Amino acid sequence: MSILVMKFGGTSVATLDRIHRASKRVAAEVAKGHDVIVIVSAMSGKTNELVGWVNESSPLFDAREYDAVVSSGENVTAGLMALRLQEMDIPARSWQGWQVPVKTTSAHSSARIEEIPSENILRKFGEGMKVAVVAGFQGISPEGRITTLGRGGSDTTAVAFAAAFKAVRCDIYTDVDGVYTTDPRICDKARKLDRIAFEEMLELASLGAKVLQTRSVELAMRYKVKLRVLSSFEEQSDEAGTLVCDEEDIMESNVVAGVAYSRDEAKMTLISVADRPGIAAAIFGPLSEAGVNVDMIVQNISEEGRTDMTFSCPTDQVLRAEKALNEAKERGDINFHDLVADKGVAKVSVVGIGMRSHAGVAAQMFRALSKEGINIKVITTSEIKISVLIDRKYMELAVQALHDTFDLDKAA
Ligand code: ADP
Ligand code: ASP
Ligand code: MG
């Protein structure tokens, strides 16, 4: 028995008509002899709407209830797709996360999958079911409550199922026909890649390229899942889309593989903090406990024993960050004069394995930005990426300028 995992994102199931179209693709794979596990997202826009309702009801919401609400979009599409397949005489059944069960940690709103027992679904395949339509993005905690896997989490559901069921392949159907050198929606010259290395995809995803959720790439890399990204709107051949694969399986590649951006960043600065041993721990401990994902950190030069500390985090976590820091100040754990939040910044990054062996990428990046008159507020680097924080209004210009300077429109 060969199992294939097919994941359809929000735009691919946005209407009944599109669910119908996706079902036809599933039927074609069933006709080839596969048992298929379909992972579905909520209809596009649905999860945003649900998140909006939660925020409106309770700005510093209880994450258990957030999960109860935002997981619901996927339940609808799973049921609708199963119905559609049944109409096509294909034995199909929908599964919510808890029914499989997709066992996760209890980190509500960003839970991790711990185990997916395969017995229930395999038994149903044994009894003649041809398609299991599973609601993506959701699972169940050890306490028995519904959890979600973080935005974009259906990708991770798909790869986790592919690993658990030893699927022949995990096909991620989306609204672009593969992974590009940068988001084709903001750069006309973006070029589709036939292959991309796991490590590069991992960095691009974690730096904002939302075509795949970061965790899904991590899992695919660890469990050697054959992962492909392709369009649900175009005719497909077996060679279509982009294969995410090992570095060794790529013949030639550019020094810089791609440019990623993250639009909704905030830069927070604690003004005049006492500069003493333990101060970083006293600041970032409470932030981490409050669930704030701190990204870049800069400590400025200290004068007369006091310094400014700057960090970045997603804009929707600013409220939590402010609360955590003000509480720490009230407890007397830290002492600062002011806390300034700049919610108008974005992060732009270049990624490439080639940077390990090529010097000068950072200098070229900074030159390209300076030529456009773009001021860099914070810089971070690692072995295969360089990120800068800039004013959000220059984000698209920066992405285009970097795409140009590294000639990403041309293959290696
Ligand atoms: P889905 O709803 O199918 O999960 P997403 O919206 O989450 O789709 O992800 C697909 C989107 O990712 C594309 O529409 C595109 O705008 C964006 N994207 C960002 N970076 C890239 C990239 N490097 N290659 C392809 N798409 C990208
Ligand atoms: N519906 C969820 C989201 O919009 C999960 C997903 O689509 O992957 O984040
Ligand atoms: Mg997605």
Instruction: Please say if the pLDDT value at position 216 is more than 80.
Output: yes
* Ligand 1 atom with minimal separation from the 10 CA: 2
Instruction: Please say if the pLDDT value at position 184 is more than 70.
Output: yes
Supply the DSSP string of 274-315, one letter for each residue: E--TTHHHHHHHHHHHTT-----EEEPPPBTTEEEEEEEEEG
pLDDT for residue 238: 67
Q: How confident is the model at residue 157 (pLDDT cuts 50, 70, 90)?
A: very high
Instruction: Calculate how far, in angstroms, residue 299's C-alpha sits from the geometric centre of ligand 3.
Output: 34
pLDDT tens digits, 67-101: 999 999 999 999 999 999 999 999 999 999 999 99
Mean pLDDT, to the nearest integer, of 31-40? 97
Instruction: Please say if the pLDDT value at position 401 is more than 90.
Output: yes
- Which residue, by CA, sits nearest to atom 6 of ligand 2? 152
The CB of 154 under 6 Å from ligand 2? The reply is: yes
- Which residue, by CA, sits nearest to atom 12 of ligand 1? 211
Question: Which structural domains are found in the chain, ordered by start?
Answer: 3-251 (3.40.1160.10), 259-405 (3.30.2130.10)
pLDDT for residue 69: 98
Mean pLDDT, to the nearest integer, of 393-398? 98
Q: How confident is the model at residue 300 (pLDDT cuts 50, 70, 90)?
A: confident
Pocket of ligand 1 (CB under 6 A): 9-12, 41, 152, 174-176, 179-180, 182-183, 185, 204, 209-211, 258
Spatial distance between the Cα atoms of 412 and 93, rounded to a whole number of angstroms:
46
Give percent of the chain with pLDDT exceeding 90: 92
> Do residues 318 and 268 make contact, with C-beta atoms less than 8 angstroms apart?
yes
* Ligand 1 atom with minimal separation from the 258 CA: 23
Between residues 411 and 121, which one has the greater pLDDT? 121
User: pTM for the full model?
Assistant: 0.93
pLDDT for residue 60: 85
Burial class (CB in 10 A: 0-12, 13-18, 19+), 373: exposed
pLDDT for residue 388: 97
pLDDT for residue 302: 86
Instruction: Please say if the pLDDT value at position 240 is more than 90.
Output: no
pLDDT for residue 235: 75
Between residues 101 and 250, which one has the greater pLDDT? 101
Beta-carbon contacts of residue 28 (< 8 Å; ≥ 6 apart): none
Mean pLDDT, to the nearest integer, of 265-290? 95
Determine if residue 188 is left, alpha or beta; phi over 0 gives left, psi from -120 to 50 gives alpha, anything else beta.
Answer: alpha
The CB of 159 under 6 Å from ligand 2? The reply is: no
The CB of 11 under 6 Å from ligand 2? The reply is: no
Spatial distance between the Cα atoms of 114 and 92, rounded to a whole number of angstroms:
26
Mean pLDDT, to the nearest integer, of 393-406? 98
